[in-house]
Amino acid sequence: MKKILVTGGSGFLGSHLCDRLIARGDDVLCVDNFFTGSKKNIVHLMGHPNFELMRHDVTFPLYVEVEQIFNLACPASPVHYQYDPVQTTKTSVHGAINMLGLAKRVNARILQASTSEVYGDPEIHPQPESYWGKVNPIGIRSCYDEGKRCAETLFFDYFRQHQLDIKVVRIFNTYGPRMHPNDGRVVSNFIVQALRGDDITIYGDGSQTRSFCYVDDLIDAFLAMMDTEKGFTGPVNTGNPGEFSMLELAELVLKLTGSKSRLVFKELPSDDPKQRKPDISLAREKLGWEPKVALEDGLKETISYFKHTLAL
């Protein structure tokens, strides 16, 4: 049994991670300020003797005794991270400083949940970890993109300066049960609109692409990365290299829901990347990991979840 801290532990990814850690017998401290996380995501764990929930904002220091830290705290959808962009940057930067400080004090291994957004609107396709990115530092998405880039900087400076045991993963689009229905991410948007019979909103002409990783596959990657040998820091791309256009995704959601919703095209938001696909060669080599769940199978599970959640 390990004592493990999960920041952002009641969120979409964090709650699935808590489930897996508890299932394998670890002692889990779940920390969240509930800005985007929900107690509904972890209520089934509340009575478990190995699970503890703490309301706390990572922009403030935390003093606990743990052996490992998964730092997931940060709003991850444009709707939420643009709502309070200053706080989003603080969560990434001050949160990283505070969690790295904690890891240094207690000599814990710490994993940073970074993002494919560090690549911005990429000029290289697919994106390898060696690519430095093309990011607008003053745009409406910069609070998240640059916040996460700065967090990576801090992690690697703590590694070089203090020999801290760090792990960094770069998460590409992930979907599955417990996504927030109003988070503005494309999978949840399309599914909720289709189930309600509303118009499905496609920004741009629908040709822009994303790669969609099912949540169970991503959690496998987190656990594999945390268990790699000391000194292997990453960053490692974690995502599904299958590439789909927005139009293809919309048509698949319509097929799986049986919805009669119409497709409606709107102007592409500022700084929205035109394509995104991970090169996962490093994950295959170092983690022995690659995603297993096909998009159609993952969407069926996600649609079932939203049907239940929305009572449709």
Q: Where are the domains of the chain?
A: 3-175+213-240+277-292
For residue 40, count other CB atoms closer than 10 A to its CB: 11
What per-residue string of b and e applies to 165-183 under the rule 16 or more CB within 10 Å gives b? Answer: bbbbbbbbbbbbbbbbeeb
Q: Is the pLDDT of residue 273 over 80?
A: no
Is the domain spanning 3-175+213-240+277-292 CATH 3.40.50.850? The answer is no
Q: What percent of the chain has pLDDT over 90?
A: 88
Per-residue model confidence as pLDDT tens digits over 220-261: 999 999 999 999 999 999 999 999 999 999 999 999 999 999
Cβ within 8 Å of residue 285, ≥6 positions away: none
Q: What percent of the chain has pLDDT over 70?
A: 99
3-state secondary structure of 55: strand
pTM of the model: 0.94
pLDDT at residue 183, rounded to an integer:
83
Per-residue model confidence as pLDDT tens digits over 17-59: 999 999 999 999 999 999 999 999 999 999 999 999 999 999 9
Q: Which pair of structure tokens corresponds to residue 205? A: 């002409």
Give the mean model confidence (pLDDT) for residues 136-165: 96
Q: Is the pLDDT of residue 92 over 60?
A: yes
Instruction: Provide the β-strand partners of residue 244.
Output: 210
Decide: residue 286, CB within 10 A, 0-12 exposed, 13-18 middle, 19+ buried: middle
Q: How many helices (H) and strands (E) does the chain have?
A: 9, 13
Reported confidence tier of residue 271, pLDDT bands at 50, 70, 90: low
Reported confidence tier of residue 312, pLDDT bands at 50, 70, 90: low
Reported confidence tier of residue 124, pLDDT bands at 50, 70, 90: very high
Q: Which of 63, 81, 119, 144 is catalytic?
A: 144
DSSP summary character for residue 66:
-
* Whether 144 is catalytic: yes
Give the mean model confidence (pLDDT) for residues 67-86: 88
Average pLDDT, the chain: 95
